[in-house]
Chain A
Amino acid sequence: MKHTDNDNSLDRVVKSSLNSAVPLEVEARLRRRLAAFREKMDSAETEPRRRVHILAMILSPPRRALAYALPIAAVLAIAVVVLITSGGFNPAKAYAQAVEQMRKARTMTYTMILPQSGIMRMPPRWEFCYKEPGLIRQTLILQTWLAGIMQTVVIVDLTQKKGIILTSQTKECTELDFSQMPPDKFQVNIIDEMRRIPTRATEVLGQHVLDGRTVQDYRVTTEGLDRIVSVDVETGNIARMEGKFINAPGMNVVMSDFRFDVELDDSLFDLTPPEGYRKVTVPVNVANPTEDDLIHFLRWWAEHNLATAFPPSLHLKELQAKVAEMMMSDELVGDKETTSTEQLVQQSFHMMIQGIMFLLRMAPESDWHYAGQNVQLGAADKAIFWYKPTGKPTYRVIFGDLTVRDVAPGDLPTTAALPAQP
């Protein structure tokens, strides 16, 4: 029985009917089931078995890699809260319990700073609130050399797939609409990132005194991210957490002031523009992304980094991390004489979404590949991206000078390219 085009038609009909994003509240319920199941598995272990676990935890690398992540998500990923255990302080157990508690938290607040910030007078500071099933509020306070103090509030309601950005300096309210985003591919719930933190510390470090309190440190390392979690030995509460990007030396984030399961009023997450704020429409046409959107994004990226090179990949998480890294190292500020940091960040976000949406909307059979890493803008002989438009016999190939040619399948580049998965 040969698999035919007709079979593909059937597959498409069936798959499109079965495809559905998991509602946030359902996901939260099922994750609580998983948390209970994990406890059940853990509690069934015998003591000898547990000792082996602890030894393995200390000696072996973590199994799950978080890879690159948005800085804020990376920091969230180290957010843990420690249960006060009876019978003395058990470092390894305390960490595991902290992760479980964090996964169960229905609300959370914390403060985060980025100590390294070349273009800032003061470290950028975030005040963060989260409330299930998907309400997020982030207040970003920046003090730049050019623009002075700026405060930006981002509120996202994942259940409505909407959000707003409130900019204090310009009194602008930018409305965000995520409804056109493919639900399975565009994840903006950074809590999900945090909840994927390994439940075992890579290493139990020593104790020391921090701000007059004795704290126990843990190292939690995954690919691309190294976290140090400090837990107050006496209270079981987190005292400090720091995350470092392994591939971006000098770039680190520090979190503090954690509170879990506190009352957060819904008004904090109100999407109604405040009085006196002017509505701004986000210039992102996500409904009909085109090849030109991708080309604009590629050009924008190449023109806004010092190496004039194309992005290292088209994976959304890697791009987000890269934007943050470039922002911290001044690489992103190619035209800082005329552009504020805030505008640059917003531009990068918009360009990224526009370009990536073109990829997300592609048909599965488009067979797109990306090979732009380390290729400089203008390299006319290097193919950086190719895909097969639906119903066309040839591929569209974008070259380093951003020209586009139609190419027969047999003439495609042989460069090792990254397969599709934005």
Chain B
Amino acid sequence: MNSSHGDYDTLIQPIEDRMIRTVWRIVRDPDDADDAFQEALETIWRRLDHVARHPNPHALILRICINCAYDVLRRKSRRERHIALAEISDEMPASAPSAAEQVASRETREEIYRAIGQLPGKQAEAVLMRFVEDMPYGDIAQALGCREATARKHIARARVKLATALAHLAPSPLREVANHEAY
């Protein structure tokens, strides 16, 4: 390992909690979380030089986590034809739902992921970074390797598409934006 690698305390430790939370929020299954996490760590390991030299390594690592988690979810969806999310979530006694989760049903979550899955790659990544991890636009831009304005554009376009796809789930303002929002 050469000196450009950086170290665990610098690259990983400050965002351990966020990595775990990000992966979990996307996959919601213990085994899938384990798989996705392992894939993410392997990706980070393979690209450690690149990660360490990246202008925003933490954002890049979170992007890798999001991508790996979402890949696991997509593979699972294809394999099981969308049957798993709700049932698997119910198998988790330790994950007692918060008030917000009670409001947002598992079907809603499944539909949201399906809608995100229909987005072009960069838009999906950007919107997940924004919604799952609340990442600032600047960080998203650095993680995606684009300008901040471009990251904002990805998310704005994703919002419009999601508003259309999810209009039936939401209160009237969402339906309005789906009908009237223009590029």
Tell me how far the C-beta of B51 lies from the nearest C-beta in chain A, rounded to whole angstroms.
11
**Residues of B1-51 whose CB lies within 8 A of A:** 1, 3, 5, 7-10, 12-14, 16, 19-21, 23-26, 28, 30, 33-34, 37-38, 41, 44-45, 48
- Find out whether the CB atom of B38 lies under 8 angstroms from the CB atom of A33: yes
Q: Tell me the total A-B contact number using a CB cutoff of 8 A.
A: 157
Question: Which chain B residue has the least Cβ–Cβ distance from A46?
Answer: B1
Q: Assuming the A-B contacts A1-B183, A9-B173, A198-B9, are A18 and B109 also in contact, with contact meaning beta carbons closer than 8 angstroms in the complex?
A: yes
Q: How far is the CA of A198 from the CA of B9 in the complex (A)?
A: 8
Residue pair B177, A7 in contact (C-beta under 8 Å): yes
Chain B residues with CB below 8 A from A4, complex form: 177, 181
Q: Which stretch (B75-83, B99-107, B140-148) binds chain A?
A: B99-107
**With A1-B156, A14-B162, A30-B37 in contact, is A41–B94 under 8 Å at CB?**
no
The DSSP consensus for interface residues of chain B is helix
How far, in angstroms, from A1 to B97 measured CA to CA in the complex?
A: 35
- Does B112 sit at the interface, judged by CB under 8 A? yes
A142 to chain B, nearest CB (A): 33
Q: Is the CB of A13 within 8 A of B9?
A: no
Chain A residues with CB below 8 A from B95, complex form: 20-23
Whether a CB of chain B sits under 8 angstroms from the CB of A5 is yes
A51 at the interface (CB under 8 A from B): no
Report A-chain residues with C-beta under 8 Å of the C-beta of B181.
1, 4, 6
Q: Decide yes or no: A16 and B23 within 8 Å by CB, A30-B37, A199-B9 being known contacts.
A: no
Complex: A63 Cα to B58 Cα, angstroms: 15
- Measured in the bound complex, the distance between the Cα atoms of B5 and A38 in whole Å is 13
B37 with A20: CB separation less than 8 A = no
* Most chain B CB inside 10 Å of its own CB: which residue of A1, A20, A37, A200: A20
Known: A6-B177, A15-B131, A37-B41. A21 touches B112 (CB 8 A): no
A24-B94, A134-B94 are known; give 4 further A-B pairs, CB within 8 A: A30-B33, A38-B12, A133-B94, A199-B8
User: Can you name 27 A-B residue pairings with CB atoms under 8 Å?
Assistant: A4-B177, A4-B181, A6-B163, A6-B174, A6-B177, A10-B162, A13-B169, A14-B162, A17-B108, A17-B109, A18-B26, A18-B109, A22-B21, A23-B24, A23-B95, A26-B24, A26-B34, A29-B33, A30-B23, A30-B24, A33-B38, A41-B5, A41-B7, A63-B10, A63-B13, A183-B96, A198-B9
